[in-house]
């Protein structure tokens, strides 16, 4: 209330100071400027806290007790990386923020080029977020992925992001460029040593040309003690179809912040996802969808199941600029609270400056429908199992939107495994 | 089509730039010196003949306010207010406290007559059907100039008087409830109000009484360079019912004027309060010059079980509106409702909505908000619905619809939905759209011209809320809506 007192630096911020000094000393001349600028931008804001509107429900300042040391280069065993499981893919492995060609598959694929980078992203980000700035200040490495115009990549491109070690942190910067008319499915997984406490901060820029067809599946299966922050900035060309899906299961604290901007007319974007939370997990999905040109369509559908003392946060903002007439934006957030100590905070926002638009958002929060439960139990299904059937059905509705059968199967298997993990005896 | 035609006529009769209530009443006023300090607070308190506890309460608030900063989170944009450049007290010079209506300055009576607010009881008593009677408390700048039907209400045990009178006559009630819903340090403007509030209405409905008539307050800002800080406190004791109306207007001026009110409602067991507002402060001219800054804190407390508070608002005036009538659903089975029509045209900025805080068991709330933006205005719905751990079986339904007229205005929706109880069921839906060509074509194919068609469609859009208004207000509100949107089509 009083004149803003000088905010004391937290332990995490002090650790970050030392880490930056160390990494800055080793930075080459050509990148020094970018690193320093990002650091200054981060320092101006500090670690986000609840007084920062965008972070209101995820008070990182209190949740981030320390900033772990920057992870060094390691060589984990190939078996440690789970990725998309048995699916046949083009695998790209990123370990501790750095490209790991040894763990990646042969990259000789027509229309696809992968290159190791120092992780600095050239383009101006559409975001002025402290944690995105921090990524660029401490970035350890990254890759660039290019898909040529009109290339149709048959197999899914699999990006496995693995944090190796405990009490470490990794920062990766990834640039993805998808040419006009290209078609691709990307499956990206975030994982690490089971039971290890680590922090991963990923920053990814995706640029999609015109008339492309891109499907992106993110599997967030970090270790149960991990802290996961991902900033994704997307720019879409004209008449493109872009689908993004988040499967949110891991990490004690996770935040996915998605910034999407329509750059060309007649484009369709779908942002979807499911969050499966238990214990003391805290999962935050924050979207900024900016309609800057006319005639685009966006869909944001997210479903969460929250058990135990877990907490789900959803913030979605659809911005329709004055030029973006004929915009069609629909957002729907559904949450099931399975325990009396679970919590959901939702903030679906509309910010509209154009008049000829159709925008809507909806949100529902509640427990499993008693009538449905009764229906199943009346047919001899035990309550515990009936509940699981209903939760699975609730999540499947979102999963089934996926066009690729292989992704639907993968997601359903993961969902089932999460649901059955504890006490389910048989199908 | 009679109603539609009436609306059209009403619209035609008024120039785009012409605010109907923009006249100035020329009377001699007594003003506090400009600026704000402890002496001014004491001056206001002394003017009101207040007991010492009230003065201390004000001073405490003032000291708190000095440490606070103006909030900036609302989606409104205005030059910084110079709080030292205001008169915090303005009152018509009076002849030793008017005892009856006959003694009230005829200029003031004339003002209210022009505004369409009947202050003379006789005519009404002698005249039309008694069920249409409305008791009025008329607040002119910083003071209440007249309160009608006091005796009649007193027969039923209802206390309806200016709050300054209540502080003197009913200190036990005021001390018990004042600041119990909106604490002194609640927010910047509420704290400022607590320090310098000058007048407003006080209502107490005794147990089991259904208030025999509608109560209403009519606020009028007249004096330039003044701020109006009214304070309203309504207490509905066990099993009682009251319906309260509020209306506001101000003269047309090039400067901006500040209005920072606090309204507190307390509903005890089985009591019900219905609070309706038609806010029509001067909105500024077509260039966005002048107009009222309306920074208001309104909150109702469903303190005991089975109580109900219902807010209905029609917001058409003010250059800037910053207002969130809220309900704290503390008692088990209590209910809160919020029905709102917010219309912005010209350069108006509205950031309004509600808060429904579910604390008790089996509490229910309902939010229906209709926003209409035209011209170059910005219209934001900002609302919060939250269920605390113990709020089992809480229910909320929220519907926010926005209608955009013209391509230079903005409509925004910012809901905060927080649930900590699995048995709480919250549903929220929001839509934004414009009047579709199909709708217009349909109406025009049936012989309505463009303006008539828009009036018809808008009336349909806000119908859910209009229905919640008391009869006398509904007609008035409907006309007001058409006037506010005048010139926005084509």
Percent of chain B predicted with pLDDT > 70? 83
Contact B420 A343 (CB under 8 A): yes
- Over range B132-145, report the average pLDDT: 70
What is the average per-residue pLDDT within B127-155?
68
Count how many domains chain B has.
Answer: 1
pTM: 0.85
pLDDT of residue B489: 55
Decide if B379 contacts B373 (C-beta within 8 A). yes
What pLDDT score does B115 carry? 65
Residue-level pLDDT at B119: 60
Mean pLDDT of B452-459: 84
Of A341, A343, A349, the CB nearest to B413: A349
Would residue B110 count as lying in a domain? yes
First CA to last CA across chain B, in angstroms?
22
Q: Do B417 and A358 touch (CB under 8 A)?
A: no
What letters, b where the CB count within 10 A reaches 16 and e where it falls short, cover B200-234?
bbbbbbbeebebbbbbbbbbbbbbeebbbbbbbbb
- Report if residue B413 sits inside a domain: yes
Report the C-alpha gap between B406 and B454 in whole angstroms.
12
Domain that holds residue B318: 2-484
- Closest residue of A to B437, CA-based? A356
Chain B closest-CA separation from residue A55 CA (Å):
13
Q: Per-residue pLDDT for B123 more than 50?
A: no
Distance from CA of B453 to the nearest CA of A (A): 18
In tens, the pLDDT along B330-371 reads 999 999 999 998 888 888 899 999 999 999 999 999 999 999
In a domain, B490, yes or no: no
What confidence score (pLDDT) does residue B16 get?
38
Nearest to B426 among A322, A343, A364 (CB): A364
Contacts of A338 in chain B (CB under 8 A): 422
B402 with A53: Cβ contact below 8 A: no
- Confidence category of residue B91, pLDDT binned at 50, 70, 90: confident
CA of B401 vs chain A CAs: smallest distance (Å): 9
Q: Give the SS3 label for residue B242.
A: strand
**B57 to chain A, minimum CA–CA distance in Å?**
20
Nearest chain B residue (CA) to A334: B427
B486 or B63: which leads in pLDDT: B63
The more confidently predicted of residues B470 and A40 is A40
pLDDT at B2 over 80: no
Q: Which residues does B contribute to its contact with A (CB < 8 Å)?
A: 67-69, 73, 389, 402, 404-434
At residue A108, the pLDDT reads 82
From residue B408, give the alpha-carbon distance in Å to each of B341, B346, B405, B462: 20, 10, 9, 22
pLDDT of residue B94: 57
> A350–B402: do the CB atoms touch at under 8 Å?
yes
Closest CA to B81 of B258, B252, B223: B258
Tell me which residue in B402, B421, B428 faces A340 most closely, judged by beta carbons.
Answer: B421
Interface test with A, best of B413, B427, B439 (most A CBs within 10 A): B413
CB contact under 8 A, A352 and B420: no
| In contact, B17 and B286? CB cutoff 8 Å | yes
User: How near does any CA of chain B get to the CA of A36, in Å?
Assistant: 31
Q: What is the mean pLDDT of residues B274-286?
A: 83
- The rounded Cα B121 to chain-centroid distance in angstroms is 24
Mean pLDDT of B298-315: 92
pLDDT of residue B3: 47
CB nearest to A346's CB, from B389, B417, B430 = B417
CB contact under 8 A, B426 and A352: no
pLDDT tens per residue across span B145-192? 677 777 788 888 999 888 888 998 899 999 999 989 998 888 899 999
C-alpha B175, offset from chain centre: 24
Q: Mean per-residue pLDDT for B59-63?
A: 91
> Which position has the token pair 């299961």?
A249
Output the pLDDT for position B122: 46
Instruction: Report pLDDT for A121.
Output: 87
SS3 B423: coil
Interface size A-B, in CB pairs within 8 Å, comes to 124
- Of A195-209, B82-96, B109-123, where does the model show the most confidence? A195-209
| Nearest-Cα residue of chain A relative to residue B403 | A355
B489 in any annotated domain = no
The contacts of residue A60 (CB under 8 Å, 6+ apart) are A47, A48, A49, A131, A253, A255
Over chain A (427 residues), the average pLDDT of each successive run of 10 is 61 90 88 89 91 91 90 87 89 92 86 91 73 91 93 93 92 94 95 92 95 96 95 95 95 95 95 95 95 94 94 94 91 92 92 87 90 93 91 91 89 90 44
Per the model's pLDDT, the better-predicted residue between B246 and A249 turns out to be A249
Looking at residue B126, its pLDDT comes to 41
Per-residue pLDDT, averaged over B383-411, amounts to 90
Mean pLDDT across B231-237: 93
pLDDT, chain B, mean: 82
Query: Residue B188 domain-assigned?
Result: yes
Local structure of residue B181 (DSSP, 8 states) = S
**DSSP-derived secondary structure letter, B351:** E
The answer to whether B37 and B83 have CB atoms below 8 angstroms apart is no
By Cβ distance, the residue of B389, B421, B428 closest to A363 is B428
ipTM > 0.85, yes or no? no
What does the pLDDT average to over B184-212?
A: 89
On the question of pLDDT at B132 being above 80, the answer is no
Model pLDDT, residue B77: 82
Q: Which of A338, A351, A394 to mutate to test the interface with B (most CBs of B within 10 A)?
A: A351
Instruction: Return the axis-axis angle of helices A383-399 and A405-420, rounded to nearest 10°.
Output: 150
**Nearest residue of chain A to residue B70 (CA atoms):** A1
Q: Is the pLDDT of residue B277 over 50?
A: yes
Residue B98 has pLDDT above 90, yes or no: no
């Amino acid at each position: 209330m009083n004149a803003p007192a000088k905010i004391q630096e937290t332990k995490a911020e002090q650790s970050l100071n030392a880490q930056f000094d160390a990494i800055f000393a080793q930075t080459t001349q050509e990148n020094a400027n970018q690193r320093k600028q990002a650091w200054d931008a981060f320092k101006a804001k500090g670690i986000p806290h609840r007084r920062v509107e965008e972070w209101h429900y995820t008070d990182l300042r209190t949740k981030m007790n320390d900033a772990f040391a920057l992870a060094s280069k390691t060589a984990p065993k190939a078996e440690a990386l789970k990725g998309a499981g048995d699916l046949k893919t083009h695998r790209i492995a990123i370990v501790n923020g750095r490209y790991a060609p040894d763990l990646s598959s042969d990259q000789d694929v027509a229309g696809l080029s992968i290159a190791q980078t120092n992780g600095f992203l050239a383009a101006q980000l559409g975001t002025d977020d402290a944690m995105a700035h921090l990524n660029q200040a401490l970035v350890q490495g990254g890759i660039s992925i290019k898909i040529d115009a009109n290339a149709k990549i048959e197999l899914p491109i699999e990006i496995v992001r693995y944090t190796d070690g405990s009490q470490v942190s990794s920062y990766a910067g990834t640039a993805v460029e998808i040419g006009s008319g290209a078609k691709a499915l990307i499956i990206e997984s975030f994982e690490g040593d089971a039971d290890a406490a680590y922090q991963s901060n990923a920053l990814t820029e995706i640029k999609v040309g015109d008339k492309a067809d891109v499907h992106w599946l993110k599997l967030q299966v970090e270790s149960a003690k991990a802290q996961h922050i991902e900033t994704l900035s997307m720019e879409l060309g004209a008449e493109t179809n872009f689908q993004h899906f988040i499967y949110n299961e891991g990490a004690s604290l996770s935040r996915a912040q998605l910034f999407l901007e329509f750059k060309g007319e007649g484009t369709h974007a779908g942002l979807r996802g499911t969050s499966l939370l238990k214990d003391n997990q805290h999962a935050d999905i924050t979207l900024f969808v900016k309609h800057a040109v006319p005639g685009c369509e966006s869909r944001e559908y997210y479903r969460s199941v929250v058990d135990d003392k877990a907490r789900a946060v959803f913030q979605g903002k659809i911005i329709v600029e004055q030029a973006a007439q004929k915009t069609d934006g629909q957002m729907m957030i559904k949450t099931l609270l399975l325990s009396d100590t679970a919590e959901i905070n939702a903030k679906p926002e509309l910010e509209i400056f154009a008049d000829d638009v159709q925008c809507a958002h909806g949100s529902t929060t509640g427990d499993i429908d008693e009538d449905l439960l009764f229906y199943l139990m009346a047919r001899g299904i035990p309550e515990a199992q009936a509940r699981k059937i209903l939760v699975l059905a609730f999540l499947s509705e979102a999963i089934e939107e996926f066009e690729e059968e292989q992704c639907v199967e993968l997601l359903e298997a993961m969902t089932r495994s999460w649901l059955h993990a504890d006490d389910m005896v048989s199908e | 089509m009679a109603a539609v035609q009436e609306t059209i006529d009403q619209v035609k009769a008024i120039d785009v730039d012409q605010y109907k209530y923009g006249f100035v009443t020329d009377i001699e006023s007594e003003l506090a010196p400009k600026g704000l300090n402890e002496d001014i607070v004491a001056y206001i308190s002394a003017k009101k003949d207040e007991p010492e506890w009230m003065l201390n309460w004000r001073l405490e608030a003032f000291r708190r306010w000095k440490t606070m900063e103006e909030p900036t989170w609302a989606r409104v944009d205005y030059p910084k207010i110079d709080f030292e450049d205001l008169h915090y007290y303005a009152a018509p010079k009076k002849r030793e406290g008017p005892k009856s209506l006959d003694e009230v300055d005829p200029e003031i009576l004339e003002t209210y007559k022009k505004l369409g607010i009947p202050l003379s009881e006789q005519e009404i008593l002698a005249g039309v059907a008694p069920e249409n009677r409305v008791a009025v408390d008329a607040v002119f700048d910083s003071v209440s100039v007249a309160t009608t039907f006091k005796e009649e209400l007193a027969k039923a045990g209802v206390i309806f008087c200016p709050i300054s009178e209540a502080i003197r006559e009913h200190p036990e009630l005021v001390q018990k409830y004042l600041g119990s819903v909106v604490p002194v340090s609640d927010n910047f403007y509420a704290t400022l109000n607590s320090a310098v509030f000058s007048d407003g209405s006080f209502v107490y409905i005794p147990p089991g009484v259904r208030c025999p008539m509608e109560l209403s307050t009519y606020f009028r800002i007249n004096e330039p360079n003044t701020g109006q800080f009214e304070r309203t406190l309504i207490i509905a004791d066990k099993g009682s019912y009251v319906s309260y109306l509020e209306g506001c207007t101000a003269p047309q001026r090039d400067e901006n004027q500040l209005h920072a009110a606090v309204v507190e409602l307390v509903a005890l067991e089985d009591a019900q309060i219905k609070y309706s507002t038609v806010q029509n402060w001067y909105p500024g001219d077509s260039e966005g010059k002048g107009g009222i800054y309306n920074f208001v804190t309104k909150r109702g407390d469903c303190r005991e079980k089975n109580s109900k508070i219902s807010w209905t608002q029609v917001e058409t005036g003010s250059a800037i509106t910053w207002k969130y009538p809220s309900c704290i659903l503390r008692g088990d089975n209590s209910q809160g409702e919020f029905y709102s029509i917010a219309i912005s045209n010209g350069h108006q900025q509205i950031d309004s909505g509600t808060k429904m805080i579910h604390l008790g068991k089996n509490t229910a709330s309902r939010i229906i908000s209709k926003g209409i933006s035209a011209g170059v205005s910005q219209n934001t719905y900002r609302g919060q619905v939250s269920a605390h751990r113990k709020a089992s079986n809480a229910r909320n339904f929220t519907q926010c619809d926005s209608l955009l007229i013209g391509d230079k205005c903005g409509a925004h929706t910012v809901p905060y939905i927080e649930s900590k109880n699995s048995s709480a069921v919250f549903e929220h839906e929001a839509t934004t759209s414009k009047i579709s060509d199909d709708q217009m074509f349909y109406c025009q194919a049936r012989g309505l011209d463009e303006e008539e068609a828009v009036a018809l469609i808008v009336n349909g859009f806000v119908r859910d809320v209009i229905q919640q208004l008391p009869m006398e207000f509904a007609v008035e509100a409907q006309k007001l809506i058409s006037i506010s949107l005048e010139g926005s089509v084509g």
